[in-house]
Amino acid sequence: MSVLNIVGVVIFIGLLFSLYKFRKPDTSLAKQVFIALLMGAVFGLFLQIIHGGDLDAIRPTLLWTDLPGDVYVGLLRMIIMPLVLVTMIAAVVRLHEVAALGKIGGSVIGILVFTTMIAAIVGIVVTNVFGLTAEGMVGGEREMARAAVLETRQSTVADLNLAQVLVSFIPTNIFRDLTDARSTSIIAVVVFGMLFGLAALLVSRENPEMGERIKGGTDTIQAIVMRLVKLVMSLTPYGILSLVTYVVAGSNGSDILNLIGFVVASYVALAIMFGVHGLLLSVTGNNPAEFYRKIWPVLTFAFATRSSAATIPLNIRTQVDELKVPPSIASLSASFGATIGQNGCAGIYPAMLAVMAAPTVGINPMDIGFILSLIGIITISSFGVAGVGGGATFAALIVLPAMGLPVELAALLISIEPLIDMGRTALNVSGAMTSGKITSTFIKDGV
């Protein structure tokens, strides 16, 4: 390591210590996260400046500054499956009516799919307004290598249909799904948790004495898991500082400038969809400003990690503690929202790519038939998109071939993919939490 690398690591350690000293009982998590976000952005820019923008020279520093972020994300991934499983079992056991579970699930999924359809429309409109097109785009070495990989991956999703996606939600091996072995493992664990909880609920009704022990046992296990979640959540500011430092210091400014039009258009579309979420909350009697103020730490974490799945623990905890959403609804909306109806990755992104690619094969992107077909395919294909980095690419691999469009465009955007994916992930999580809050507004009985 060079002297500059050592200086960078020492300064980063000092920033971590400053965050620790700043933590006080009366300082909210949102404020701590905001400060960590600013510190990470400034420090990342500082690393770019002192190293003259040389990413190779910065990497030895990032190797150490990224350590707290890697540890934090690893701890979050550790508690995802136990949290989802235990919370779902406990939530179903507490239901007064089994039918309430169907109403909750139907409402959450319905809102997620509806908002994804709106997101597709927004993506189409924004792309046309900005006049974005893939005609004339030339890929470099990295882009062509990525295109070759995408061509290979396309074969794995070429024959994918809605029926197969629904079947993949069934946990044929719950122990395998608890290891997160599949892209739909989270939904599979949710399904198992609901069925296990349903069986426990029926046993409780048949044998009230055993029911008391079941309820006491699930309450105890859930209390332990939630305390574990709280312990991990207390590390959020340090994780954010590390993750944002990595994002800012590791960005290639020239690549971003080359495709700045797509970046701007993407964030305009994302901003519009955040507004749509706020509008839906408003018309259902909720305060959008209060909603976004309370979920700010969740969105910040989603933005930094680019993983809807990793955000599930913080998502559930915030819905229950801050938004006062019942645990059963919070668990379903957070879990389903990480796989079904992702507004950013499965809605806006494939819609924008399809509109950009259409002219390259002689299709008018303003043709009403093309637009309706695109909206329909995006809405259906939004089931089962993995809630991790790369989920948007998976969605594009389904939508583009289905519309008869080339997949190479996804590879050509590799340089700016991480920058846009941060905003998309935050929107995905906002959509999940919006579905939970709206559902809790209308479904009061049985939860």
Determine, yes or no, domain membership for 182.
yes
pLDDT-derived band at 80 (thresholds 50, 70, 90) equals confident
Determine, yes or no, domain membership for 327.
yes
Q: What is the pLDDT of residue 352?
A: 92
Domain boundaries, position 269: 3-19+27-442
Neighbours of 319 (CB within 10 A): 26
Q: And the tokens for 250?
A: 């590791």
**pLDDT above 70 (res 66):** yes
Query: Largest alpha-carbon pair distance within the chain?
Result: 72
pLDDT over 90 percentage in the chain: 24
**pLDDT above 50 (res 127):** yes
pLDDT-derived band at 52 (thresholds 50, 70, 90) equals confident
Determine, yes or no, domain membership for 142.
yes
Q: How far is CA 331 from the centre of its chain?
A: 15
Q: What is the pLDDT of residue 150?
A: 47
Q: What is the pLDDT of residue 391?
A: 62
pLDDT over 70 percentage in the chain: 81
pLDDT-derived band at 61 (thresholds 50, 70, 90) equals very high
Q: What is the pLDDT of residue 445?
A: 44
Determine, yes or no, domain membership for 168.
yes
**pLDDT above 70 (res 281):** yes
pTM of the model: 0.69
How many domains are contained in the chain? 1
**pLDDT above 90 (res 288):** yes
Buried/exposed 161-197: b ≥16 CB within 10 Å, e otherwise: eeeebeebbebeebeebbebebbbbbbbbbbbbbebb
Determine, yes or no, domain membership for 101.
yes
Determine, yes or no, domain membership for 88.
yes
CATH number of the domain bearing residue 157: 1.10.3860.10
* Cα distance between residue 120 and residue 105, in whole Å: 23
Among 73-82, 142-151, 209-218, 364-373, the range scoring the smallest mean pLDDT is 142-151
The residues facing 372 across adjacent strands are: none
CB-CB contact of 321 with 334 (8 Å): no
Determine, yes or no, domain membership for 447.
no
* 336-370 per-position pLDDT tens digit: 887 777 898 889 998 999 998 888 778 888 889 88
